Every structure is written in C-alpha cells, then in structure tokens.
Structure 1
C-alpha cells in the first residue's frame, strides 16, 4: 500500500541529499586529479560536470524513476505521471540548462549581451523557485519547480525517516529554507529605486512632504566631527550635492547611479549637481 501524504521535511531532505550526492561526486573527481597540472581540468569543467550529472540522471531518475536522494528516503515518483517526453524535459531543465549557463560563463565571459541573457535567465529561475517554494509550503506537493511544471508527484511505500517528521524539525527546516529564499529575493531588489517609485505613488506620506518643504540649497561646512550623510563614517573624498551635508564620493556616486532622483537622507534635498568639497 502506497503512502500518499509525504511530510514536507522529508521531501526537502531528499532535495538536499541530491545536491550532496552531486557535490560528493565532483569532490571525488577533484581529489583524484589534484596532482595534474593546474588549468587542465578547468578548461573542460562544464563538460565534466555534465557527464557526472548525466550519469547520476541515467542510474537514478531514468532507470529507477526516482533520484538518489529520494531512494535513500524510500520515496519515488508516481509511475503513471512519468513519460519519456517528461524525462527529456526533466533532463533539459535540470542538466542541460546548467551546462549551457556554465559553458557561456567560461567561454563568453567578456560578451556583455550573452552574460545579460544568462543573468536574466537566472533571475527568472530564482523567482520561479521562490514562488514554487511558497506554494509548496501551502500545498505540501512538488518541492521543486520542475516537478510542478511536469506534474511529477511523489509517493512512498514506507517512510524510513519518520523521526524527522517531528513538528520542531519540520518547522526548523522549512523556516531555514524560507529565510534563505527571502534573502535571495531581497538581494534582487533595488531598494533605492523602489523607494523612489513609491514616492511618486504615495504622495501623502510624511517624508514626501518633507522632501518638498526642504528642497533648498545651502553651503556645506566640514568640521572634525562631520560624517557622511549616507554611511555615517568620516567622508572619504568628500563631495556635496547642493545641501549642507557632505558625502563620501563613492556613497554619493553609487546612489546617484542607481537612482537619478536620489535625495539627501538627512534633509531630502534632491541636488542634481555633484561637486567635490574644497576646504577654504
């Protein structure tokens, strides 16, 4: 009799085991070839990883209809959900795309257009993984995006890791994965640009009114206690933007590059002309 309900923590454990199995194979290859001349292995590293992943795919998912991590935990995909075409799509998404990305990074590092395409692909994949993980927390099915796309549902005849289904373990593992994904999502956000866009929509928040009322230029003065208005440290290569506050050159230029309408965080003055501060 098969078990239809698979605990979320057990499914996530299988995903982590798959990653560890792949890393173990790659580490063994590096260990066996560590005495070779440096640079020989790096030239064909994408192809080497492709062969390792293909071998793992052949003797796990292709032959047994489950990954090595799932097999360790007595999990498997429902046979009625698997077809030859789905196997090819699974291979292309999990292995083919990784190879294309790695080879492009190795061979066309200086090609800006290709690198931008690869970056956009990775961004879309990360967003998809985040959305799928949120859906997985709610439904308890399809821990990986490719499983959801192809409709590959897990089942089991028994659970060999029932001790891991304890509520505290489940909460800890799910929370750890959730925090990791949230950190990835936040790192993709342009917080300065986001605040600028919100300022045009939310016209009645207090700091927007403050911006309008404080938009006056004044002379900057630097003393021994002056700190950068952005990082609150001693100004490095001090610059001004028309208000009475002083910035580090890199702090000011970085913010202005990201957001042309960047305003002083102290007085909210939006200066367009950046000048090097000169002591008189």
Structure 2
C-alpha cells in the first residue's frame, strides 16, 4: 500500500513578474521635429527690395543739390548712404524686427540663440536683443561707412604708389649688401592690409552664401555672427506669387521693341499727308445753279465802284457759259 501511495504533486509558486498582458505600454518616442525651412528666394528678394528702396530715396535726396553745390554728391556719398540706411533701419528693422522688404516677403528677424535644439520650430519667436541691434547698426552701417571712407582716402592719396624705402644700413653702408632688403612705407603696408582684408571678407561672404544655399540660414556673415535669423512673421500665411507686374513689363517691352523695328519701315511724310487729308475740314458751302460763284464772291468783297457788272445784279448768271469742269459762270466774269 505504501508503494501504491502517490507522491503529492508540487504546486508551482506564483511568479512575481507581471505577464505581458498586464505590462503597461510605453508611449512611442516622439519623432524629432523637422528643421525650419525658409525660402531662400524670399530672403534674397527682401534684400534686393531694401537696396532698391535705399537707392530710390538717395536719388531723390541728391536731386536737391542738382543746382546747388552738385559736388556734395561725390564728396559726401558715404555719409549720405549711411544716414539714409540708419534712418530706414531705425523706423523698420530696429523698431519691429523687419524692414520694408522683409515685411513684403512675410519675414522678420529673431534671436536664434533662444531657439537652439528642439526650440527651433517654436511658435513664438524671440525678438532681437538690444545689443544685437546696436552691434548690427555699428557693423552694418558704421563699418561700411568707415570702410568706404578709408578706401577713398587711401586711393586719393595714392597709398599704393609709395615707393619702397631702403634700410638705414644700406644708406650708410652700401658696400655691405649688394641687394639689401627694402622696407615699404607704412601707408603702403596699410593699403596692402586693406586689400587682404577685402579679399578675406569676400571669401567668407562666398562661403557663407554657399552654406546659405544649402540650409537657408543666415543670409550674410553679419547675421551669422550675431545669430540673427530670418523666419516667417506669419507661418500660417500662404505664399502668394503675383506676376501682374512682370506680365505688364513684358508686354511693354515687347511693344517697345516692335515699335523700334517698325519705325524705320514707315514713311512719315506720306503718313502725315494722308492724315491731313483725312482730318481736313471740307467746306459744305454750295451755291444754287443760277448763281455765279465769281459774281457772288465779288459782291461779298465790296462794291465795284458804280460800274454795272453781273455782281451788281445779285450774282445771277448773265450770259451763262459752261466751263470744262461742268460749272456755269457768267461770260463777262470769265472774259
């Protein structure tokens, strides 16, 4: 009987690990937000519009001096350009963060330092700080004015034409070195530094433009240094492209070219004569058949001095005579 007794079955201990059905589901990771893309053509168009506006205002302003001190245009051109640029920027860019050209393209500047990482696509754009505006005015306006004025001064005083100056040892001891080293004048050195600085800046501008074409950020080197990025002022606004002005310009250009092609083929003298014949006022005066035209004219001109003529009879045809053209006159008037 002991051998027939079954061993008690072992009951498995309950597992402390939760089953897959009871495991709480974790939310999937949030995909990264797409990078902010701003149309490059809109940014470049805004720059062109601002440049054309400044040029238009400058042209109208310089007309004041067309008959009064016309040399002011050439003498103070950098100062006039800097003043107009500052006034336009003060009432637009430094006041609202967008110039007139940027507003037309639905763009404005923002402080990109506040939008690093995931905050790049934030709905609220951080405005420019005060030091960014001051630095932009000093470098963009003041720096350009200083550069133009310094280049003008160096060119007018011919800094690039100053000859090299021999060293002191060569002047007093010419026998020491047959080909001694020469030291250039300080003005020539400054001019060479200006040329190198301009070359470096142009190279950086070209490199920045290539990067701008790639990612659409920072239109200029100054914008990249100050972290001033152009974004949409109203992202929900759809971009509307109007070709009305372009179509009008194309029509007028084609019409002008057609007239320039047609004018040499037109005989103006014949055209003028034909036009005069068309607009000439024709006389509607007609006399009855029993009235002589010569007698009628003589009677209207005045009295014949007491002599009895057909004209004194009221212009009635006396002894009618028909001419080759078919008109009837007095025989006395014709003879």
TM-score, normalising length: structure 1: 0.52
Measure, in 2, the Cα distance between the counterparts of 1:120 and 1:21: 32
Measure, in 1, the Cα distance between the counterparts of 2:213 and 2:72: 44
Q: Which runs of 5+ in 1 are unaligned?
A: 165-280
Structure 1 counterpart of 2:93: 61
Structure 1 counterpart of 2:220: 144
Count, aligned residues: 162
Measure, in 2, the Cα distance between the counterparts of 1:37 and 1:144: 37
Whether the aligned pair in 2 keeps the contact of 1:54 and 1:95 (CA below 8 Å) is yes
Residues 102-126 of structure 1, C-alpha deviations (whole Å, 9 max, x = no match) = 2113333223334333322222221
Counterpart among 169, 193, 201 of residue 117 in structure 1? 193
Structure 1 counterpart of 2:229: 153
Measure, in 1, the Cα distance between the counterparts of 2:191 and 2:53: 29
What is the CA-CA distance between 1:139 and the residue it aligns to? Answer: 0.7
Measure, in 1, the Cα distance between the counterparts of 2:191 and 2:239: 42
Whether the aligned pair in 1 keeps the contact of 2:217 and 2:229 (CA below 8 Å) is yes
- Structure 1 stretch displaced more, 90-99 or 102-111: 102-111
Counterpart among 126, 133, 154 of residue 202 in structure 2? 126
Whether the aligned pair in 2 keeps the contact of 1:142 and 1:148 (CA below 8 Å) is yes
Tell me: CA distance 1:152–1:81, structure 2 relative to 1, closer, same or farther (3 Å).
farther
Measure, in 2, the Cα distance between the counterparts of 1:9 and 1:130: 17
List structure 1 runs of 4+ shifted beyond 4 angstroms: 158-161
Structure-to-structure mapping, 1:23-102, within 5 angstroms: 23-78=55-110, 79-80=125-126, 82-102=128-148
Measure, in 2, the Cα distance between the counterparts of 1:108 and 1:5: 43
Bigger Cα Rg: 2
Q: State the secondary structure of the residue aligned to 1:80.
A: coil
Structure 2 counterpart of 1:135: 211
Higher relative contact order (CA 8 A, sep 6+): 1
- Cα RMSD (Å): 2.3
Structure 2 counterpart of 1:107: 153
Q: State the secondary structure of the residue aligned to 1:153.
A: strand
What is the CA-CA distance between 1:81 and the residue it aligns to? Answer: 5.5
Q: Which runs of 5+ in 2 are unaligned?
A: 1-34, 111-124, 161-187, 243-335
Whether the aligned pair in 2 keeps the contact of 1:10 and 1:161 (CA below 8 Å) is no
Tell me: CA distance 1:81–1:129, structure 2 relative to 1, closer, same or farther (3 Å).
farther
Whether the aligned pair in 1 keeps the contact of 2:97 and 2:127 (CA below 8 Å) is no
Measure, in 1, the Cα distance between the counterparts of 2:210 and 2:108: 22
Measure, in 1, the Cα distance between the counterparts of 2:202 and 2:240: 31
